[in-house]
């Protein structure tokens, strides 16, 4: 392909950038809070938003100020800890948090872990303060475990890439955002891409812009730039021509839910990429922590898919410096006539036969089958079948 299409090539690797302040617990004199980097305002500005109560955190989740499956789980766990520490009704808070977005199973998982820790402490006669500390300790544990899972997946994913693509000059296409912005560590699929870059084996990262909320253009390109990756942004509908030109060696994506049969719910637009990859004989690799596996959902058709407001499709919003927290992607310039109806599912489902491999911290499943998922669940203490 001609060089004029090659986009931003940042040459020499700069030193690793400082970690992003994605999510943290803080205890100012006014009481405990959950502090988030407001992702709706990236890349225009790096601004934190402070959640002093559960409704504020639920709003941050629903507006995508905080987003991405693993981080939603971490946020949910801290949300329960926040409710407990501030003396709110912990059960009601847990329900509100778990139901804030329906597709990423990690959210309910994180909420339940902190809630179970709180209940266990209470059942043992702990004071409300001690029970709140138990919930916070569990949230912190989940946060740390996710960082460790990210590092393990990066190593396993790179080993798999090297095995599938001997020669070591990988051109990887990715969709949505799967980096440090979704994780306690460096992410899922993006962590594998970073590992390939650091090992000198990433030739190019192709970044789908990811309509309608532009997680690829706004967030993945931002993370790629700050890490000095050779990356190029493309519109989602340019992916087919990129495959046809022979420019994609592998597709790497994350997941919001992997069902018992190995179906993968991920950002809308993932399934067409899997179909393209199959047609062009390109590996299609899903990278997700075991907290994303949901053996209680039998198959892809049973996955609850979030449908978001049509205004996200009929209007365009660029992140605006100084915008109100969480509003960076809501409202904007009309793209369609007033009153136009829009179809806006946030996720689609890729069937297991289109997935070359599922990379988790508990192991790699390939081919992706119901039996393979069962074995993985048996190995991982993160997956509960209650």
Ligand X SMILES: CSC[C@@H](O)[C@@H](O)C(=O)COP(=O)(O)O
Minimum distance, C-beta of residue 194 to ligand X, in the bound complex (Å): 14
Query: Is 101 annotated as a binding-site member?
Result: yes
d(CA 297, CA 346): 18
Q: Is 278 annotated as a binding residue?
A: no
Least spacing, CB of residue 146 vs ligand X, in Å: 10
List of residues 6+ apart from 15 with CB closer than 8 A: none
Tell me: does residue 360 bind ligand X (CB under 6 A). Answer: no
Beta carbon of residue 126, minimum distance to ligand X (angstroms, whole number): 34
CB of 87 to ligand X, least distance (A): 30
* Number of neighbouring beta carbons within 10 Å of residue 20: 18
Active-site option among 208, 249, 256, 261: 256
Q: Which two tokens stand for residue 292?
A: 């994303």
187 annotated binding-site participant: no
Decide if residue 188 touches ligand X (CB under 6 A): yes
DSSP of 57-73, one letter per residue? HHHHHHTTSS-SHHHHH
By the rule CB under 6 A, 346 interacts with ligand X? yes
CB neighbours of residue 122 within 10 Å: 18
Site membership for ligand X, residue 174 (CB under 6 A): no
> Can residue 255 be called a binding residue for ligand X (CB under 6 A)?
yes
CA distance 381 to 291: 9
Closest distance of CB 52 from ligand X, Å: 23
115 Cβ partners below 8 Å, 6+ apart?
80, 90, 91, 94, 135
Q: How far is the CB of 345 from ligand X (least distance, A)?
A: 11
Q: Judge whether 215 is annotated as a binding position.
A: yes
> What angle in degrees, to the nearest 10, is found between the helix axes of 105-123 and 69-85?
30
Interacting residues of 362 by C-beta distance below 8 A, sequence separation 6+ = 290, 376, 379, 380, 382
Q: Does 256 bind ligand X (CB under 6 A)?
A: yes
- Which residues have CB under 8 Å from 339's CB, separation 6+? none
- For ligand X, the closer CB: 83 or 104: 104
Residue 282 contacts residue 243 (beta carbons within 8 Å): yes
* ω into 212 cis (within 30 of 0): yes
> Could you say whether residue 380 binds ligand X (CB under 6 A)?
no
The span of 6-14, 250-258, 320-328, 364-372 binding ligand X (CB under 6 A) equals: 250-258
User: Is 267 within any annotated ligand binding site?
Assistant: yes
69 is in an annotated binding site: yes
Are 172 and 229 in contact by the 8 Å Cβ rule? The answer is: no
CB-based closest residue to ligand X: 254
- How far is the first Cα of the chain from the last one, in angstroms, to the nearest whole number? 51
Binding test (CB under 6 A) with ligand X, winner from 184, 212, 254, 352? 254
Tell me the per-residue interface mask from 286 to 325 with ligand X, x by CB under 6 A, - otherwise.
Answer: ----------------------------------------
Distance CA(370)–CA(263), nearest Å, equals 9
Contact pick of 63, 122, 133, 215 for ligand X (by CB under 6 A): 215
Using the rule CB under 6 A, is 176 a contact of ligand X?
yes
Any catalytic annotation for residue 91?
Answer: no
Of 28-36, 80-88, 133-141, 174-182, the segment contacting ligand X by CB under 6 A is: 174-182
Q: Which is nearer to ligand X, 255 or 357 (CB)?
A: 255
On the 0-12 / 13-18 / 19+ scale of CB atoms within 10 A, 281 is exposed
- Smallest distance, Å, CB 104 to ligand X? 6
Residues 85-104 that bind ligand X (CB under 6 A): 104
Query: Which residues within the stretch 46-85 sit at the binding site for ligand X (CB under 6 A)?
Result: 64, 67-70
Q: Which two tokens stand for residue 284?
A: 């299609």
- C-alpha distances in Å from residue 232, one per residue of 171, 181, 239, 318: 11, 19, 12, 19
Torsion of CA 71, 77, 83, 87, to 10 degrees: -150
Task: Judge whether 237 is annotated as a binding position.
Answer: no
Residue ranges of the binding site for substrate = 67-69, 101, 215, 266-267
Catalytic residues: 256
Residue ranges of the binding site = 67-69, 101, 215, 266-267
> Which positions touch ligand X (CB under 6 A)?
64, 67-70, 104, 176, 178, 182, 188, 215, 254-256, 266-267, 346
């Amino acid at each position: 392909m001609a060089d004029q299409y090659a986009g931003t090539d940042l040459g020499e690797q700069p030193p690793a950038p400082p970690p992003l302040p994605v999510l943290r617990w803080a205890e100012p004199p006014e009481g405990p809070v959950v502090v988030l980097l407001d992702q709706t305002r990236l890349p225009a500005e790096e601004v934190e938003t402070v959640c002093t109560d559960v409704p504020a955190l639920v709003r941050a989740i629903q507006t995508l100020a905080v987003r991405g499956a693993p981080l939603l789980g971490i946020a949910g766990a801290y949300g329960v800890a926040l409710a407990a520490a501030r003396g709110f009704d912990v059960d009601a808070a847990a329900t509100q948090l778990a139901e804030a977005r329906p597709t990423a199973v990690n959210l309910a998982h994180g909420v339940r872990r902190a809630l179970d820790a709180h209940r266990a402490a209470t059942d043992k006669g702990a004071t409300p303060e001690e029970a709140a500390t138990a919930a916070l300790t569990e949230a912190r544990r989940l946060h740390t475990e996710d960082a460790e899972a990210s590092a393990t997946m990066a190593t396993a994913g790179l080993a798999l890439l090297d095995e599938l693509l001997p020669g070591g000059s990988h051109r990887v296409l990715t969709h949505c955002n799967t980096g440090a912005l979704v994780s306690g560590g460096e992410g899922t699929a993006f962590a594998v891409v970073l590992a390939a870059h650091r090992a000198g084996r990433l030739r190019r990262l192709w970044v789908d812009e990811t309509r309608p909320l532009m997680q690829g253009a706004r967030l993945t390109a931002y993370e790629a730039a700050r890490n000095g990756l050779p990356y190029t942004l493309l519109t989602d509908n340019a992916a087919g021509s990129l495959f046809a030109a022979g420019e994609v060696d592998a597709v790497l994506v994350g997941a919001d839910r992997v069902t018992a049969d190995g179906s993968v719910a991920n950002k809308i637009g993932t399934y067409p990429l899997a179909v393209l990859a199959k047609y062009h004989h390109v590996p299609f690799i899903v990278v997700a922590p075991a907290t994303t596996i949901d053996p209680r959902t039998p198959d892809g058709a049973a996955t609850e898919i979030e449908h978001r407001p049509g205004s996200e499709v009929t209007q365009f919003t660029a992140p605006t410096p100084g915008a109100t927290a969480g509003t960076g992607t809501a409202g904007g310039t009309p793209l369609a006539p007033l009153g136009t109806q829009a179809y806006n599912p946030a996720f689609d489902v890729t069937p297991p036969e289109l997935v070359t491999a599922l990379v988790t911290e508990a192991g790699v499943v390939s081919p992706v089958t119901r039996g393979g998922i069962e074995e993985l669940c048996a190995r991982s203490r993160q997956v509960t079948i209650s």
